Amino acid sequence: MRALVLGGGGLTGISWEWGVLAGLAAAGIDLAGADLVVGTSAGSVVGAQIAAGLEVEERFAFQLTAIDAGPPARMARADLARSAWAVLSSRAPAQVGARLGRVALNARTGSEAERAAVMRTRLPVRDWPERPLLVTAVDAATGAFTVFDRSGEATLLEAVGASCAIPGVYPPVTIGGRRYIDGGARSAANADLAAGHAAVVIIAPITQGFGAIKSVAGQAAGLRRAGAEVVVISPDAASRRAFGRNSLDPARRPPAARAGRRQAAAIAENVAAVWGTV
């Protein structure tokens, strides 16, 4: 059994992930055939489409087009300071989530309805796919880690919207009377959800851990200790330059996508060694 884990990283992360996936597909490595897809934040946008069977090359090509997104979204300095304090001063993941939840609930952002309308333009699938897909989020009130799938009450759009609700930038998403924020409040990729799979490929625009937020490397190490073959794909220097300073800048989508595709050529052999073990 093989799992594909897609981490968070804003608009540039989405485009870069599609570039990596397209480049690997061109090299004969079909990650879209995963038995499980795990998506966090930006990775939930890509993961939903991969699990639904959308054509990788077509989605890569879309990243090279302009989107009407207005000026780049940014977090207010006060909210940025509060978020940094929430992460660095907390000792447990749920404490981080609850504190970031307070930041999100008190921030001045657009309405949920406005954000949902944007998400509808970004997500070209509406129904939960048949293939197992896990979408991560965090309860804004309690900080509890939450995993949405097709068996729950959340629609796919709601689940992905919640997973992408960056505290201080976008409003929390209401599902079943509770409000949820970005799954990255617990981990940039939540790769531990792939436990039990023999081969795991993690594509993570962000890999660092901060305070109680676990790093991708730490979660990958845990999977390896449990017997899995794991490869982590993270941005190389050229990809990081392509991202620019603001991962939410839509103008950086095309260079990020191209950088991901170029990087795929250099990592294809290592990915094939893991993906072909099952």
Catalytic residue positions?
41, 182
Rounded distance between C-alpha atoms, residue 175 and residue 278, angstroms: 37
77-88 vs 93-106: helix crossing angle, rounded to 10: 160
Calpha distance 189→176 (Å, rounded): 24
Residue ranges of the alpha helices (H) in 127-232? 156-163, 216-225
Other CB atoms within a 10 A radius of the CB of residue 1 amount to: 14
34 exposure class (CB count in 10 Å sphere: 0-12, 13-18, 19+): buried
Which stretches of 90-143 are assigned E, i.e. beta strand?
A: 133-139
Q: Give the number of other Cβ atoms within 10 Å of residue 150's Cβ.
A: 17
Exposure on the CB side of residue 172, measured as CA atoms within 13 A: 25
Task: Report CA dihedral (168, 94, 129, 176) to the nearest 10 degrees.
Answer: -80
Take residue 257 and report the two structure tokens written for it: 């996508």
